[in-house]
């Protein structure tokens, strides 16, 4: 049975599209946020049926919500998370307060390897329940679609376990979910003394065929970094992924510029993520491709590290997306509104740029812009209704205030 929902008297309906774009917003276009003042939004069968100025508002629907004084905007598309994990790591965080660096902790077998040990010991059902709780939490912040990575398994069995948890989340949830295989997140200790290639071979010859065979992943990721995988190792793994039609989304330039961005662009990466440090050759490489630069400002905020040079990237005409990087080591938060505030406060993005980067460009970073990321006819009815607020700029400005009032995913209030 079809049911309709009408949201009327919307003070400002944000990020409307009459004809959906087929490529991400780049450069100066990121600051353009189409909107309709005093608007309505009509939802039918979980999808956006219509929207426009109040003078064209339909007379009735099965349900009506009066949005006087409130803004409606598309739900966030969080295109980079590690939401499946077994245990938080506040003990390591206290060690960092005392002066130890993230890399020192990683080199001692803490960090990702610590999370891997915990995850290997944790039953699949328990991981699923914990992850479901986190999904429920972030829905309340307004997230309507999300990418989730493996990468805390680091054995054939545990990588498969993680990806099966993600598959169960996909099946049991209204939220749009895509899975990324990140077996190359860290080299396990037993392979570190002269046998790194042994682990890479395990990824390529054992993990990938099983994951592809079960259709468990949509993308492949590698942590390309001094503490993790070199550029040539990253290329090997991207090439192996391509044999199974898994496009890359790559962790790169978190701490060092190693040339990984150019390699990722060459291999047709959908996105390169982190980019806390960026040199001119990285910018040139991005200019020559379609790859989206996904910035994760809560990670450097939490690590007290370099701020991603968003202005340099946007002003070079590049497409930028924003995501949370929700994970227990570098960003124990899935709160997209805070990411928007950090993007504006620390990275000098305009409120309009931050909103576009967190919605429509996030959707492009998941190749899901036909379904999510804007208010367009036919797209999933994923949207946020704010409290009464004075303006669009107020949203990232009011960084400590819970201005997300109600969240609708596929037309259903979460």
- The answer to whether 226 and 255 have CB atoms below 8 angstroms apart is yes
Tell me the closest approach of the beta carbon of residue 115 to ligand NIG, in angstroms: 5
On the 0-12 / 13-18 / 19+ scale of CB atoms within 10 A, 59 is: exposed
For Fe ion, which is the closer residue by CB, 325 or 371?
325
Write out the binding residues for Fe ion, residues 296-355 only, by CB under 5 A: 325
Question: What is the spatial distance between Cα 387 and Cα 400, in angstroms, rounded to a whole number?
Answer: 14
| C-beta nearest to ligand NIG: residue | 329
Tell me the closest approach of the beta carbon of residue 324 to Fe ion, in angstroms: 9
330 binds, among ligand NIG, Fe ion, none (CB under 5 to 8 A by kind): ligand NIG
Tell me the closest approach of the beta carbon of residue 299 to ligand NIG, in angstroms: 5
**In this structure, what is the dihedral angle of CA atoms 95, 100, 106, 110, given to the nearest 10 degrees?**
-20
| C-beta nearest to Fe ion: residue | 325
Tell me the closest approach of the beta carbon of residue 180 to Fe ion, in angstroms: 10
253 binds, among Fe ion, ligand NIG, none (CB under 5 to 8 A by kind): none
Tell me the closest approach of the beta carbon of residue 358 to ligand NIG, in angstroms: 17
For ligand NIG, which is the closer residue by CB, 271 or 330?
330
176 binds, among Fe ion, ligand NIG, none (CB under 5 to 8 A by kind): none
Interface positions with ligand NIG (CB under 6 A): 111-112, 115, 223, 251, 254, 299, 325, 327-330
Q: Does position 78 bind Fe ion by CB under 5 A?
A: no
For ligand NIG, which is the closer residue by CB, 255 or 408?
255
Tell me the closest approach of the beta carbon of residue 397 to ligand NIG, in angstroms: 27
For ligand NIG, which is the closer residue by CB, 8 or 298?
298
Tell me the closest approach of the beta carbon of residue 81 to Fe ion, in angstroms: 7
For ligand NIG, which is the closer residue by CB, 111 or 334?
111
249 binds, among ligand NIG, Fe ion, none (CB under 5 to 8 A by kind): none
299 binds, among ligand NIG, Fe ion, none (CB under 5 to 8 A by kind): ligand NIG
- The answer to whether 293 and 272 have CB atoms below 8 angstroms apart is yes
26 binds, among ligand NIG, Fe ion, none (CB under 5 to 8 A by kind): none
Question: What is the spatial distance between Cα 208 and Cα 119, in angstroms, rounded to a whole number?
Answer: 20
For ligand NIG, which is the closer residue by CB, 275 or 314?
275
337 binds, among ligand NIG, Fe ion, none (CB under 5 to 8 A by kind): none
Locus of tokens 């503490």: 227
Q: Give the interface size with Fe ion as a residue count (CB under 5 A).
A: 1
Question: What is the spatial distance between Cα 157 and Cα 239, in angstroms, rounded to a whole number?
Answer: 23
For ligand NIG, which is the closer residue by CB, 333 or 382?
333
Question: What is the spatial distance between Cα 202 and Cα 237, in angstroms, rounded to a whole number?
Answer: 11
Tell me the closest approach of the beta carbon of residue 396 to ligand NIG, in angstroms: 22
For Fe ion, which is the closer residue by CB, 325 or 353?
325
For ligand NIG, which is the closer residue by CB, 180 or 414?
180
For ligand NIG, which is the closer residue by CB, 74 or 329?
329
Tell me the closest approach of the beta carbon of residue 414 to ligand NIG, in angstroms: 26
- The answer to whether 165 and 365 have CB atoms below 8 angstroms apart is no
Tell me the closest approach of the beta carbon of residue 45 to Fe ion, in angstroms: 35
Contact residues toward Fe ion (CB under 5 A) are: 325
């Amino acid at each position: 049975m079809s049911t309709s929902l009408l949201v009327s008297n919307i003070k400002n309906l944000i990020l409307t599209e009459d004809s959906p774009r087929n490529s991400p917003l780049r450069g100066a276009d990121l600051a353009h946020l189409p909107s309709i003042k005093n608007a309505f939004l009509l939802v039918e069968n979980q999808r956006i049926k219509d929207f426009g100025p109040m003078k064209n508002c339909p007379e009735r629907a099965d349900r009506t919500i009066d949005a006087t004084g409130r803004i409606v905007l598309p739900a966030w598309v969080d295109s980079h998370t590690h939401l499946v994990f077994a245990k938080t790591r506040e003990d390591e965080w206290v060690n960092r307060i005392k002066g130890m660096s993230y890399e020192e902790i990683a080199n001692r077998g803490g960090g990702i390897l610590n999370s891997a040990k915990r995850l290997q010991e944790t039953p699949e059902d328990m991981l699923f329940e914990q992850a479901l709780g986190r999904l429920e939490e972030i829905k309340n912040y307004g997230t309507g679609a999300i990418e989730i990575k493996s990468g805390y398994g680091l054995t054939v069995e545990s990588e498969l376990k993680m990806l099966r948890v993600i598959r169960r989340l996909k099946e049991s949830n209204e939220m749009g979910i895509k899975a990324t295989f990140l077996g190359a997140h860290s080299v396990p200790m037993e392979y570190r003394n002269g046998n790194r290639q042994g682990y890479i071979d395990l990824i390529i010859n054992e993990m990938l065929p099983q994951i592809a065979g079960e259709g468990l992943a949509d993308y492949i990721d590698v942590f390309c970094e001094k503490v993790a995988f070199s550029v040539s190792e990253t290329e090997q793994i991207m090439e192996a992924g391509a044999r199974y039609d898994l496009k890359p989304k790559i962790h790169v330039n978190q701490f060092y510029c190693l040339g990984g961005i150019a390699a990722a662009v060459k291999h047709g990466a959908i996105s390169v993520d982190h980019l806390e440090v960026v040199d001119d050759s990285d910018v040139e490489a991005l200019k020559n491709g379609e790859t989206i630069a996904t910035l994760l400002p809560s990670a450097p905020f939490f690590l007290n590290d370099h701020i991603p040079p968003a202005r340099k990237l946007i002003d070079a005409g590049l497409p930028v997306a924003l995501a949370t990087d929700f994970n227990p080591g570098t960003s124990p938060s899935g709160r997209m509104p805070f990411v928007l505030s950090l993007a504006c406060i620390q990275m000098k993005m305009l409120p309009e740029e931050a909103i576009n980067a967190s919605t429509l460009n996030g959707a492009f970073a998941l190749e899901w812009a036909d379904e999510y990321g804007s208010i367009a006819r036919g797209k999933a009815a994923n949207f946020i209704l704010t409290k009464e607020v004075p303006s669009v700029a107020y949203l990232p400005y009011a960084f400590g205030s819970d201005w997300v009032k109600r969240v609708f995913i596929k037309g259903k209030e979460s």
